[in-house]
Amino acid sequence: MYVDSEMYIIHCDLDAFFASVEQRDNPALRGKPVIVGGTPQSRGVVSTCSYEARRYGVKSAMPASQALKLCPQGVFLPVDMKRYQEASRQVFKILSDYTPLMEPLSIDEAFLDVKGCTSLFGPSEAIARTIKERVLTEVGLTISTGISYNKFLAKLASELGKPDGFKVITRQDARSVLDPLPVSCLWGVGKKTRQVFEHMGINTIGEVRQVPLELLEKRLGSSARAILDMACGIDLRPLDTARTARSMGREITFEQDVLEPEQLEKALLQFSEYLGQKLRTAALKARSVTIKVRYHDFKTVTRSRTMTPSIFSDLDIYDTAVSLLRETHPGKVRLIGLQVELDYPRELVQGSIFETGETEENLLIDKTIDLLRERFGNDAITRASLMKK
């Protein structure tokens, strides 16, 4: 197939990544429904599942107990992040061999801009096929690739081709590919926007394109223009080659629903210590703090607060998180999570020993704890409230 000179955006996405690594490393698992994440007994959720498990309706983020009902013969495995990270590093090294212009989206997918590299490696089609061959040969995994003239269509192409896919969407073919697809395939259309379209009697991307912009703006607000552009195959966003993690977080699904605020606050303190250490190691601050609370009926509530100035202290993160927790309604809690949005590198300020936050004194205490844990392990020093009774 000939790919014209405009087709220089490649989206690369590893297939069922975590599960594929497990099947690669254990041949006995190949062809079986592998489900990676929490176990049904621990009330965890599915991180990734193999395509064999997906045939039974198992999906990412689904409660493991539900996955067990759908697929009783499923093989449930815990997450082994170190192995997945090593495989990811190998794959991204291959991707970087073909262009310096890369936008990582997650541990298992990225956009490549190969416009200036075709004289060295051939057209984008040849580059994508070579990447697929190398990832399979050198890493032992399959990767789907999509090629188009913008990010939205390149990602859509890889999704439509999965698994082990190779698909091209040209400018001439864009509308014929888009028209029959459900509106949920449009980037930025989530559950609420999809419901708005359903109320309007709109189900496909082709139908979206027939709606006047003025009407879409009344129903969707400021996002209407971008959604209509996507429906027309237009996406002017450049690759964010300087993209880095914008947030970090932790969460836990309790084995039994928790009603006591003290237990929830204890979990937040553990998360605050972990995130504070990560921030200091990376010389970053947190510009905002967000908590997530999921109740026994799966109703989920989030609370967020912007920090001025930004923070990096364990106790500042914890105090903010607890304050947000107290703004939520009491009830039986199934899951609690804590996330911080990352800010620019830290600049220390002089402060009083009676103040918390961005002071030399608090940083000295936090860094001393960090060093002790780095040298003697995480259990070398702990707060009294976190000690096991």
Beta carbons within 8 Å of 291's beta carbon, 6+ residues apart:
268, 302, 303, 304, 321, 324, 325, 328, 336, 337, 338, 339
Amino acid letter, 107: I
Check 109, 125, 273, 358 and give the catalytic one.
Answer: 109
Peptide linkage before 163 cis (omega within 30 of 0) = yes
Sign of the Cα torsion 134, 139, 141, 147 reads negative
Amino acid letter, 61: A
Q: Is 37 left (phi over 0), alpha (psi -120 to 50) or beta?
A: left
Gap between the Cα atoms of 175 and 186, Å rounded: 13
Nearest alpha carbon to residue 365 among 276, 288, 287, 286: 276
Q: What are phi and psi of 182, to 5 degrees?
A: -65, 155
Show the tokens assigned to 354.
């009676």
251 classed as catalytic: no
Q: How many CB atoms lie within 10 A of CB 156?
A: 27
Gap between the Cα atoms of 210 and 202, Å rounded: 10
Cα 96–chain centre separation: 21
In the sheet that holds 75-77, the strands lie side by side as: 46-49, 34-37, 75-77
Amino acid letter, 208: V
Residues annotated as catalytic are: 109
